[in-house]
Structure 1
Amino acid sequence: MDGHDAENSKQSTADMTVFVQNLLQKMQTRFQAMSQSIISKDILRMGSRIDELEQSINDLRAEMGQEGSPSPSTSLKTKEDPKSAEDSP
């Protein structure tokens, strides 16, 4: 191997190193983007589930409140016009 071949070999090694570093950087960037996308989707899904749970809790509270108290229509009549509530059967 003469000096020219050794220099070409060093250049090839340097080129390959730069190529691999760039490839690894691209892979890391894509991995981070995919991870962020997955996390964002999971957060949205979790938020939706929390909203559904809150609605279920509110529905249960409403049902429990209705069992021990008069119907909402009677309560409204009483608040708006006490005579209407008294006149109703």
Structure 2
Amino acid sequence: MQSRFQTMSDSIVTKIDEMGNRIDELEQSINDLRTEMGVEGSPSPSVPPKVKEEPKPGDDSA
């Protein structure tokens, strides 16, 4: 039972490490694409930009 648990634990750790590597590669690919597009200084896509709401023409609620 102990060896079976150890095997499962090792398998899970290996899969987590592989997923971390894939995430790192994805982040690098995204950064490369952003550099190619010339948007190096833009915020991360995970943080949506704040949008200023402008008054609509004809909106006299102010």
Q: TM-score, normalised by structure 1?
A: 0.43
2:21 aligned to 52, 56, 60, which one?
Answer: 52
Moved >3 Å (runs of 4+): none
Equivalent pairs, count: 42
Gaps of 5+ in 2: 43-62
- Larger Rg over CA atoms: 1
The answer to which structure, 1 or 2, has the higher relative contact order (CA under 8 A, 6+ apart) is: 2
Gaps of 5+ in 1: 1-31, 77-89
Root-mean-square deviation (Å) = 1.5
Q: TM-score, normalised by structure 2?
A: 0.61
1:39 CA displacement: 0.3
Q: What fraction of aligned residue pairs are identical, expressed as a percent?
A: 7
More helix by share: 1
